[in-house]
Structure 1
Amino acid sequence: MTARTALVVRGGWEGHHPVEATELFLPFLAERGFDVRVEDSPKIYADRDEMDRTDLIVQSVTMSEISDDALKGLRGAVERGTGLAGWHGGIADSYRNSSDYLQLIGGQFATHPALHPDAREGGEADNFLRYTVEVTDLGRAHEIMARIDDFPLCTEQYWVLSDDLNDVLATTTHPVQPYHPWHRPITSPAVWTRLWGRGRIFVATPGHSLEVLRDTNVRTIIERGMLWASRTVSE
């Protein structure tokens, strides 16, 4: 049996610990039979031969920039069947200036609401809220979310701009607070899948820190999402 090939692309803003975060999942990919290559730049996406050999891309690149050639290569690879997976800002807040990338992913980080102003101390924990990841009816029937119920987290709660091509497996709702300017609760996708050409895309918005990525539910969802997104041997 020929091993599948996974390409891990990591970099961008260091606050999301792209090296340490992706290292958590490298043993899992190896155990599932993937030959894993790691790159520190999206430049590899422009290599057509390498992309055609790749069954799964795991991206952890927050913000940063991508060249036209690399973006064209990434979109083409997914259209031809290469899977694309990631979590948090490493996939949902990458390459902000590229509308074509945003269209590919189907969801873009907009903000993460913060604590009451009187409770803020000036650190990243100011943006950590207690919230619930709620599994949708579609999610309850999907292999990625099998046997996972609604679960709580205390971390950044992503407010995501998205479109209807996504199959939303879990959501999170931002409540109305007197110190925020919105006037009704806002529900954002927290886990979604997306079909693009022959390829599959998986996104989970939790994953700000290593602690969150080690949460049993979050880690299970990401591991299953990577397997779901990957091109299979039969393809």
Structure 2
Amino acid sequence: MRQALVVRGGWDGHQPVEATDLFLPFLKDHDFEVRVTDSPSVYADPAVMGGVDLILQCMTMSTITAEEVAGLVAAVEAGTGLAGWHGGICDAYRASADYLQLVGGQFAAHASRYAPGERSGEQADNYVPHRIEITAGDHEITRGIADFELETEQYWVLTDDYNEVLATTTTATRSWGAWQRPVTCPAVWTRQWGAGRVFVATPGHRVEVLQDLNVRTIVERGLLWAAR
């Protein structure tokens, strides 16, 4: 059996336990033995990391030591897959340049649905109707999936052109916003790093988003694609 490592924790608003629990049966059904941990400290253990075929990470707004990120990067370079969604992977360790280079993108913002004086302070202030546009319909992760609509956080991410972008989303202008034209960002991408593969999907704010058939299909395929 292949070995999957689930690293989860960080900000509770992203439901790291409930969200990753959605995919544990899927991994087990595809012949993965799954280990779950609530800390990236495991990344610094070469005895563990040498046998990991897939890392599923959901660890928003957390910290990581230099030894831990070095262990993660080394494992991916050697062939371990790294996969995740939303802030659990692209807003995980903001202070580590090495981690950001590995995953290929960093959360910058999500535009609010309402003007400043109309916001309640709840997460739903940032639930914006938007479209996910498939740009690589022939890729095994997105094949057969058409453009689709979501009403949830829409991530504005900072990325580089080493990514293979499979889907994008466009943040509209806001009358109260500082940006002057719509901004298109990757919403799903892959990245080859050494012998390893990285998969990122920006939708996935909470469990109900991950239960969307399109999102769930993309994530499940992304997990299998990334795994050694």
Pick the TM interval, shorter chain: over 0.9
* Counterpart in the other structure of 1:123: 122
SS of residue matched to 1:75: helix
* Counterpart in the other structure of 1:187: 184
2:193 to 176, 193, 196: 196
Question: In 1, Cα distance between the equivalents of 2:197 and 2:210?
Answer: 22
* Counterpart in the other structure of 1:33: 31
Q: What's the CA shift for 1:91?
A: 0.1
SS of residue matched to 2:169: strand
Q: What's the CA shift for 1:120?
A: 2.0
1:93 paired with 2:91, answer yes
SS of residue matched to 2:28: helix
Task: Map 1:31-110 onto structure 2 (within 5 A).
Answer: 31-110=29-108
Aligned-pair RMSD on alpha carbons? 0.7
2:203 to 202, 206, 214: 206
- For the Cα contact (< 8 Å) 1:116–1:179, is it kept in 2? no
Question: In 2, Cα distance between the equivalents of 1:110 and 1:199?
Answer: 26
| Structure 2 residues not aligned, in runs of 5+ | none
Question: In 2, Cα distance between the equivalents of 1:203 and 1:25?
Answer: 15
SS of residue matched to 1:30: helix
* Counterpart in the other structure of 2:142: 145
* Counterpart in the other structure of 1:219: 216
- For the Cα contact (< 8 Å) 1:192–1:203, is it kept in 2? yes
Question: In 2, Cα distance between the equivalents of 1:10 and 1:157?
Answer: 22
- For the Cα contact (< 8 Å) 1:62–1:89, is it kept in 2? yes
What TM-score results when the alignment is normalised by the length of structure 2?
0.98
SS of residue matched to 1:164: coil
Q: What's the CA shift for 1:116?
A: 2.5
Cα displacement string for residues 179-202 of structure 1 (whole angstroms, at most 9, x for unaligned residues): 111011100100000000000000
Question: In 2, Cα distance between the equivalents of 1:41 and 1:121?
Answer: 33
Q: What's the CA shift for 1:177?
A: 2.0
- For the Cα contact (< 8 Å) 1:11–1:41, is it kept in 2? yes
Q: Percent identity?
A: 61
SS of residue matched to 2:200: strand
Aligned length: 227
Question: In 2, Cα distance between the equivalents of 1:19 and 1:122?
Answer: 24
Q: What's the CA shift for 1:129?
A: 0.2
* Counterpart in the other structure of 1:10: 8
- For the Cα contact (< 8 Å) 1:4–1:33, is it kept in 2? yes
Question: In 2, Cα distance between the equivalents of 1:65 and 1:53?
Answer: 24
SS of residue matched to 2:108: strand
Cα displacement string for residues 21-71 of structure 1 (whole angstroms, at most 9, x for unaligned residues): 100000000000000000110000011121110000000000110011110
Cα displacement string for residues 113-136 of structure 1 (whole angstroms, at most 9, x for unaligned residues): 002225422211000100000000
* Counterpart in the other structure of 1:170: 167
